Structure 1
Amino acid sequence: MSSSAAVSPSVPPDAPPRSALGVLGTYLGPLRWQVAALAALLLTGTGLNLLLPQLLQQFVDNAKQGAGADVAGLVRLAGLYILLAVGVQLMTAGATYVGARVGWTATNRLRADLMAHLLSLDMREHKERTPGEMIERIDGDVTALSNFFSQFAVRVFGAALLLTGALVMFFREDWRIGLGVTVFTAITLTAMNRVRKLGVEPTRLEREASARLFGFVEERLAGLEDVRSLGAGGHHLRRFLDVQRTFFTRSINSWRRRSVVWQLSMALFAVGYVGVLGAAVGLYAGGAITLGTAFLLYQYMTLVEEPIDQLTQQLQDLQKAGASLGRVSELLALRSAVRGGETPLPAGPLPLAFRDVTFSYAPEDPQARGVLRGVSFDLPAGQTVGLLGRTGSGKTTLTRLISRLYDATQGEILLGGVNVQATPLHDLRSRVAVVTQDVQLFQASVRDNLSFFDPHVTDAQVEAALHEVGLSAWLARLPDGVRTPLPTGSLSAGEAQLLAFARVMLRDPSLIILDEPSSRLDPATEALLTAAMTRLLSGRTAIIIAHRLDTVARADRILVLGDGEVLEDGRRDDLARDPRSHYAALLRAGQLNEHDGVLA
């Protein structure tokens, strides 16, 4: 697959927020006008909601007069009540819509920032975490935050407004009842806030178990052919049940801890209702209030219960969001060790030089053996080097250092005379292209597969690249040309390799790295690939990693690696004539026939 720089739709914050308020400020800030409209809807709806019990009070007191009741007045009160009740529902619906729109817009930005951030991390971070875990971070954790944010303003801010208004109305009717309900509310909220903390850690463990489950499934699906061919399905199924059991156990434990919040709320409100009804009955019996006022107090108590109930539910979501937020912030806090510089690369084919390069995948471990040790060589601009060596000799690692998937532990790598660590990453990766044995194809159109979804690449450019690599006949068979969907797995290995070459043609790089491009091809397809490779390498610096000697028959130079060190470096023709060279020995092992030779 051709290497390409990550394109970020939005830049994650340098200091990622670690609290719910911090995330709200970062991702809701740009939506301030929509938030203002949401606040207006909530204020209007809350005002109407607080007015409705007043109308009921007047209706009950008027109706209690019996034959002396003002029927016309009752009708007007009933009509006004219905009108305001409809208005409350419309305000609530509008606030719910705007709140959901604001919430999902904000968290979609967060999801995009997370994806861009993951693409910017160096390969060490990706090796330490499975793709399934990363998917869970972007999808599962952010979905938990989306559910929280999409309802946060409506439920929490709206509930706080309604609760404050209801308490004010209690004080307006009778200061003693108002004081009692205020104390009750403070006790309830304090108790629930303390209890909710019990669910944060179990919820975090639940999310971690979910990530491991996703990672397990992703790995087994990726290795499905090996699992089946070795008859290991039963073993993997038992392992899956172990992972699933851990997730289930932690989910149940997390739910039990979170459920304590609403259980406590139910118990406290049973006490609260008894207290308010007892006070209302006592005041009515003593003639201090009317029947309508007693009914009014009960209605306002329901307006206290409703927002606290909303806050209770939101506190449970806050537990989930808090755990997800911690994991998301932890991911955003990661910083790639691979940073670009500011020195641009020169134009044209680029010479490559390694200067005493040493590399280890575990540099922090002094006992770890380096994959590369003191590697030095020069590759002039426009020449092709064939990179040979046994499995584990460091061939692939060497090429990864050039495109800075990793950085050398010691030494320096010069491209066009510029240290690769001193040039911008985007500049470097736009000038260096890598084609691997396993070409990654996407369930998208042919055009998108070749352009990597770059809208600036035209259909004509894609068609020209396909013609250049010899896929004209294949292109002619596609019903919609380059716009034809390309399902994964629909191509042969040779066609996939040719598509990878076409990707490189579109980018016109200065240095090309081919990792055994003809290892799995039939002779006819290999001939087509050879012709395409000749056109691809013309006028460019190239490295060809080979196991088959005929692959490097067109190379100018040969570099043989062994145990992380350079065993041999020279012109191919000179090495082939030297009977003492490693390359000549390999040719003899292949019965002196480069086209049939195989390097173990």
Structure 2
Amino acid sequence: MSRQLPIAGTAEVRAAALRDLRADRGAVVAIILVNALASAAGLVGPWLLGRIIDTIQAGTGDVLSKVDRLAFGALVFTIVQTTLTWWALKIGYRFGERTAARVRERFLKRTLALPPRVADQLPTGDLIARGSTDAAVVALTLRSAVPEVLVALVHALFLIVAVVVLDPLLGLCGLACLIGVAAAVRWYLKRARPAYLAVAASGAELADVVASTAKGARTIELLGLEDRREQATEAAISQARSARLGALWLRTVLFPWADVSLGLPVVGVLLVGGALHANGLVSIGLVVTATVYLRQLVGPLDILMLWIEQLQGAGASYARVEGLAGISDEERQPTAHIQDVDADLGDRIQVNNARYSYTDGRDVLHGIDLIVQPGERLAIVGTSGAGKSTLARLLAGLDRPHTGSVTIGSTPVADLPPGQLREHVVLITQDHHVFHDTLRDNLRIARPNATDEELHAALHAVGAEWLDDLPLGLDTELGHETILDGASAQQLSLARVVLADPHTLILDEATAQLDPRTARRTEQSLAAVLRGRTVIAIAHRLQTAHDADRIAVMEAGELVELGTHNELVSAGRVYGKLWHSWHAEADTPSD
């Protein structure tokens, strides 16, 4: 059963953001310093404009020459401000690219570090959404928001300080008129985080429904479940739509309210400044300068308002991306006291009174006791739903029994570090993956230092005769012009097993996508290659069980029979009946 991925809290997201900022602190400091210089240069223009007005109003001396010099100074400082702002943004965007790459790499490392038994229980759609959509939102925000927000913050701070220094009364009047903006932001922030988390969660749920429907399309058609899956998809779409509309409603309140509030400081300063000028307390140039400062303040505040809205969505995505760190260290790492497998017991696998359930309260395995000796070929047979695949997962360490134990040597299989586990046990199912890369690199996933001769030998060992038909041999790019069919892809997976060279191999329908003749030939080839190693096969073709050293028969989650083929046929119980039934069908001539 899928478990829910954790979501990082506000404190964890803040700590992660601070770590990312500290990791590139030089760029952050440069952004602030360069932008501070740009903001300081931007203050000179409005001040010179006020001086121009007062000079013209005074009308003394060479007015035209003074105005020209003041205007030229304003032009120079405007060019300086533009250049420094461009430079600050350039530094910021480069910082954003580096930080976005760091976030993506951190998410990928955390995902790859998950033990298989944990990763297998995670909702695929949610994990994909976090690694793609959420990571993209975070990357975009880091690329754009950090430089633009820092630039806007520094610019706004300089303008506020400038207007207060210019005239404290006018400055305080302008700041008082910003209370409406503060109220709008406070109202929005209280509601934004839950709304955007709901948007992200509903999007992940929709992705999960679509992915699971596509993956199980054949089963859905076979069982006639199209209407049910359509209803599930429509429900997920409806939920995602409602969540997005809820977030959009917050924006329809925030932005009109903020737009009105941002115009109030200019109106307030003009009214108060006009009254003060009428009483001879301030010059008209000073009022114009203060008004221009506050009018310029609208620009950075507009940018901040826009990013406040977008940062809520980015914050929710950041929380989801960082949430993977919430999986406890106990689940990520093997138990601290685990040592190497006991050399005296070799690779003997022992199952002792193992019980397991996918949901609380209903066991699907009931008190399994089984010992698999090194080098033994064991077949596990039974009807569909008998618990064969579940037992295979316990043997491979992908799941842990709720009671009892599954050990290799004296060590619980699920506690072995991933690298050591792969040296001892490998589970191969009918699911496989072909990467869009060369055949050589697809194979070297199992053994990076394998030579071409070893790669050829592994493919021939599993009967991959199609190798000779590839245009470039091992250098052939798979997934583009050359696409392997299901049978060939399965043989590729089996060739990886040959290269990995595990002590114990568990085959769960590993040859199910091969035709009977190819499957038989592949199994015989594998048997020859893996001679002397432990092979545990979930057998759906009883011929596979016939060739095994021993056969374990599962029924309703219990191990009901264990013995050789001849012993079980002679006993005439569950396996004997299955064998005679299968043998009779095999002997029946087809029409």
**Range class of TM-score, shorter chain:** 0.7 to 0.9
Matched, 1:486 2:485: no
2:3 aligned partner = none
1:60–1:485 distance in 2 versus 1, CA, 3 Å: farther
What's the secondary structure of 1:408's corresponding residue? coil
Which AA in structure 2 matches 1:405?
L
Matched, 1:361 2:358: yes
TM-score of the superposed pair, with normalisation by structure 1: 0.85
- Asked whether the 8 Å contact 1:357–1:408 carries over to 2, the reply is yes
What's the secondary structure of 1:590's corresponding residue? helix
- Asked whether the 8 Å contact 2:7–2:323 carries over to 1, the reply is no
Separation (CA, whole Å) in 2 of partners of 1:90 and 1:464: 63
Report the more deviating stretch, 17-26 or 120-129: 120-129
2:146 aligned partner = 153
Report the more deviating stretch, 14-23 or 272-281: 14-23
1:47 aligned partner = 40
Separation (CA, whole Å) in 1 of partners of 2:72 and 2:446: 58
CA deviation after TM superposition for structure 1 residue 485, in Å: 2.3
Which AA in structure 2 matches 1:466?
L
Which AA in structure 2 matches 1:340?
P
1:376 aligned partner = 369
1:333–1:411 distance in 2 versus 1, CA, 3 Å: same
Separation (CA, whole Å) in 2 of partners of 1:112 and 1:454: 23
Matched, 1:587 2:587: no
Match of 2:334 among 317, 340, 343: 340
CA RMSD of aligned residues (A): 3.4
Which AA in structure 1 matches 2:409?
G
Separation (CA, whole Å) in 2 of partners of 1:408 and 1:41: 60
1:353–1:234 distance in 2 versus 1, CA, 3 Å: closer
Matched, 1:216 2:209: yes
CA deviation after TM superposition for structure 1 residue 146, in Å: 3.3
Which AA in structure 1 matches 2:580?
R
- Asked whether the 8 Å contact 1:445–1:482 carries over to 2, the reply is yes
Report the more deviating stretch, 329-338 or 434-443: 329-338
CA deviation after TM superposition for structure 1 residue 230, in Å: 7.2
CA deviation after TM superposition for structure 1 residue 546, in Å: 0.4
Separation (CA, whole Å) in 2 of partners of 1:227 and 1:564: 25
Separation (CA, whole Å) in 2 of partners of 1:397 and 1:420: 14
Matched, 1:413 2:406: yes
Match of 1:21 among 14, 22, 30: 14
CA deviation after TM superposition for structure 1 residue 257, in Å: 1.1
- Asked whether the 8 Å contact 1:357–1:374 carries over to 2, the reply is yes
Match of 1:141 among 119, 134, 138: 134
Report the more deviating stretch, 427-436 or 417-426: 417-426
Deviations 1:71-130, CA, capped at 9 Å, x for gaps: 555455444433432332333233333323333433443333334434455677667653
1:17–1:278 distance in 2 versus 1, CA, 3 Å: closer
Which AA in structure 2 matches 1:357?
A
Tell me, which stretches of 5 or more residues in structure 2 are unaligned? 1-5
Matches within 5 A, 1:192-591: 192-226=185-219, 236-237=229-230, 239-335=232-328, 337=331, 339-341=333-335, 342-345=338-341, 350-362=347-359, 365=360, 367-368=361-362, 370-452=363-445, 461-471=454-464, 473-487=465-479, 490-576=483-569, 578-580=570-572, 582-591=574-583
Separation (CA, whole Å) in 2 of partners of 1:19 and 1:559: 49
Separation (CA, whole Å) in 2 of partners of 1:271 and 1:108: 42
Separation (CA, whole Å) in 2 of partners of 1:128 and 1:502: 27
CA deviation after TM superposition for structure 1 residue 248, in Å: 2.2
Separation (CA, whole Å) in 2 of partners of 1:585 and 1:18: 63
Report the more deviating stretch, 250-259 or 390-399: 250-259
What's the secondary structure of 1:486's corresponding residue? coil
Which AA in structure 2 matches 1:432?
V
1:105 aligned partner = 98
- Asked whether the 8 Å contact 2:8–2:320 carries over to 1, the reply is no
1:512–1:99 distance in 2 versus 1, CA, 3 Å: same
What's the secondary structure of 2:430's corresponding residue? coil
Q: Percent identity?
A: 27
Tell me, which stretches of 5 or more residues in structure 1 are unaligned? 1-12
What's the secondary structure of 2:24's corresponding residue? helix
> How many pairs align?
578
Which AA in structure 2 matches 1:533?
L
Matched, 1:89 2:82: yes
Report the more deviating stretch, 107-116 or 209-218: 107-116
Separation (CA, whole Å) in 2 of partners of 1:293 and 1:117: 58
1:532–1:76 distance in 2 versus 1, CA, 3 Å: farther
- Asked whether the 8 Å contact 2:446–2:497 carries over to 1, the reply is no
Separation (CA, whole Å) in 2 of partners of 1:214 and 1:390: 33
Deviations 1:221-274, CA, capped at 9 Å, x for gaps: 223445567787677556544432332232122111133222222222232221
TM-score of the superposed pair, with normalisation by structure 2: 0.86
1:453–1:176 distance in 2 versus 1, CA, 3 Å: farther
1:4 aligned partner = none
CA deviation after TM superposition for structure 1 residue 544, in Å: 0.8
Report the more deviating stretch, 310-319 or 113-122: 113-122
CA deviation after TM superposition for structure 1 residue 545, in Å: 0.8
CA deviation after TM superposition for structure 1 residue 355, in Å: 1.7
